Amino acid sequence: MKLCILGGGLTGLSLAKSLLKKGLSVDIFLSKKSLDFNRTRTIGISYDNLIYFNKEILDIKKLLWDIKKIEIYSDKLKNEKILSFENNNKTLFAVLRNYKLQSKLLVSLKKEKLCKFENNFNYKLSNLKKYKLIINCENNNYFSKKFFARSLKKKYDSFAYTTILKHKKIKNNVASQIFTKNGPLAFLPLSELETSIVYSIKGKKNINLKELIRKYNTKYSIKNFGTSNFFELKSSNLRIYYYKNILAFGDLLHRLHPLAGQGFNMTIRDIRDLCNLIELKLKNGLELDNSICEEFQNKTKPKNYLFSSGVDFIYEFFNLERKMDNNILSKSVRLIGRNKFLNRSFKNIANRGFEI
């Protein structure tokens, strides 16, 4: 049975690799955008998702840098730590570069006999009638505009800036997030010598990124800054996940603010749910028709919406404090974080998501 995936980004390639492991044939339609590698972007993958990815998608252990602790700070408390997450020096999540993962997936898929790449960027519905299931992983193609335009959208009036710091060698397994007066700033270690920066800045396009990073950097002896990029921040939740046998997937379903680093983690959980549904149908000798789309929507939509709403709540919580003249909200968060049960609950949600 042959399936079709539209899009050659991390989502489409990861999903294709997982489907191939189920013995399915997959045709991947590449877009020009999916072949444009951004070398400043990084992703964090939670421990639970790492186990799944390495086993069911592709072994990427050599690309990973383990994070053993997460520290949260706030301008309002003069850089005093308000939250801390760790688990007896065990890995909480791992960080890697987007383009390295995408390159490794592409190389692996090109060796697969049941995988075929199509470079026809102008595909139409009439050209895809031979496929029982079409999975659309692109935000800006014919299908997305025609069938998946209705979503709950939000603009943050912010831009996320990304770059890579090169610094002197340091034991570098602690990720940190600082809620500054400009917006959340994340330091995500990549090695003993490099750290990824994601700075979401409210309402500003032209900024001195290096100066702002130096202002809040208390750990690294910086040698130089890599190339920086920025993109506008938006969130969205798709209202209907499918049209006939075309299933929307990845960022097309849900787009998050990057402050929690959970966008790709949600997608990995979606891959797991979709593949489990497909595997169940195959075991029962059933065809993969559009019923799989409805089943996937029923299983994932409620928890995806709940999770993305939670991330948005965190943003709005600290955004409210940014506008206030006191630090009562940060002090409240610090008090909540000291509760062992709540601290453990937050870690479990970040690791596994919500189960409904």
Task: Read off the pLDDT of residues 295-304 as tens digits, 9 standing for 90 and up.
Answer: 999 999 999 9
Instruction: Specify the range with the lowest mean pLDDT, choosing from 33-42, 209-218, 231-240.
Output: 33-42
Nearest to 247, CA basis, from 221, 228, 275: 275
The whole-angstrom separation of Cα 83 and Cα 97 is 26
The pTM of the full predicted model, rounded to 2 decimals, is 0.92
Supply the pLDDT for residue 120: 63
Q: CATH fold of 2-352, please? A: FAD/NAD(P)-binding domain (3.50.50)
Q: Check whether 336 has a pLDDT greater than 80.
A: no
Contact assessment for residue 186 and residue 177, using Cβ atoms and an 8 Å cutoff: yes
Q: Quick one: pLDDT at residue 316?
A: 85
Q: Which amino acid is at 92?
A: L
pLDDT of 37 > 80? The answer is: no
Sheet holding 242-243, edge to edge: 115-118, 25-29, 2-6, 134-136, 246-248, 242-243
- Average pLDDT rounded to a whole number, residues 266-277: 96
Beta-carbon neighbour count of residue 332 at 10 Å?
A: 13
**Alpha carbon of residue 304 to chain centroid:** 13
Q: How far apart, in whole angstroms, are the C-alpha atoms of residue 268 and residue 137?
A: 13
Cα–Cα distance, 345 to 161 (Å, whole number): 30
Instruction: State both tokens at 238.
Output: 């798709």
